[in-house]
Amino acid sequence: MAGLYMHIPYCRRKCIYCDFYSGGDRRARWQELADASLAELQSRKSEVCGDFETLYLGGGTPSLCPDSELRRLTAGLRSICGERWNVSEATIELNPDDVTDERVEKWQEAGFNRFSLGVQSLCDEELAAIRRRHDAATAVNAMELLMQTGCDVSVDLMYALPGQSRRSWQHSLDRVAAMQPQHISAYALMYEDGTALSALEKQGKIRRASDGEYIAMYCTLIDTLSAAGYEHYEISNFALPGHRSRHNSSYWQGMPYIGLGPAAHSYDGDRARRANNPDIEGYLASKGICVPHQTEHLDDAMLLDEFLLTRLRMCEGFAVDDFRSRFGKNNTQRLIAEVRKEMPHGGIEMTAEGTVRLTRQGVMTSDSIILDLASVLS
């Protein structure tokens, strides 16, 4: 199995927290972008083995792409993959204010059967504070329209936003959970260097939530969605039974994927990671042939770190036997037991079947636990 990702590098305007690579859509060259992406796939499809089973159009804002161009793009991807096209999950990311009856139909005609909607919050003040284009009513309308299609809908939410209280976070969660979209992703607001958000914080115009507030909101998230029937299958992801994201799960399971477009990442499923340069003009100038990029070759230590980082994000964790056979460490079980003893609140557990996974407490401090484990096991 392999995944196919395409990055749409345009947004109508920049949200203040965003450090994803994107440029303004007024200068978008949609036709050239589609042509270059198709040429890139043609020249790189043999980098991974197996059928392409998932497609993910992310960004940026894919819902800005004109419908005719989108249709040409997906038809082209399908034709280039030929017999290897076995896509059962095709996701497109959408901004709520782009969602209309007519466009939903066009996205389905283009082959998409899963919609990822950037709701973020259902409080107008919070949406305005992070400079999102939509308001809460628009987001709810978009969810309703998308859910009528019978396709899977994934809703993105954010917490620890400027001015957000536990009560307003609970309000957003309750409203979204009551609508029962098949999938919910929820991320804490991060203060990335170089963003307008970080600048505002430095100027004292925005107060960053305290560690205690982050943890309290994360607990509210887990409790609310668990009570509403969602499975907490990855640190930031929740799904109704049978509706996990196959595309994103394949990242966490170390499966290969090809990323097309400026700033897109790829992984060959073995030791090579590739990142296309974050440069729209350079990408278009390449016409998809010899796209400017960086490649990183993973050594044994990096592979081990990645294994822990990705597998422990999932609620299943990893099997000690699998770890042992990949990395040849015969004393894995003993080392993990030693790490566990050092953790005062029991951040990881080992099941009777030999699976290692984070506990609920461990999920809150996953980064430091994974670092501890990596240093002992490497």
Please report, as ranges, the residues that interact with ligand SF4 according to CB under 6 A: 11, 14-15, 18, 20, 22, 59-61, 95
Q: How far is the CB of 350 from ligand SF4 (least distance, A)?
A: 38
Closer Cβ to ligand SF4, 60 or 181, answer by number: 60
Closer Cβ to ligand SF4, 8 or 364, answer by number: 8
Q: How far is the CB of 197 from ligand SF4 (least distance, A)?
A: 11
Residue for token pair 């050594």: 299
Q: How far is the CB of 98 from ligand SF4 (least distance, A)?
A: 10
Q: How far is the CB of 123 from ligand SF4 (least distance, A)?
A: 17
Q: How far is the CB of 353 from ligand SF4 (least distance, A)?
A: 40
Round to whole Å and give the CA distance between 220 and 227.
11
Closer Cβ to ligand SF4, 48 or 94, answer by number: 94
Closer Cβ to ligand SF4, 19 or 201, answer by number: 19
Closer Cβ to ligand SF4, 11 or 314, answer by number: 11
**Phi, psi torsion values for 206, nearest 5 degrees:** -135, 140
Q: How far is the CB of 93 from ligand SF4 (least distance, A)?
A: 8
Six token digits for residue 118: 């950037």
Closer Cβ to ligand SF4, 4 or 127, answer by number: 127
Round to whole Å and give the CA distance between 159 and 319.
32
Residue nearest to ligand SF4 (CB): 18
Residue 314: DSSP 8-state: B
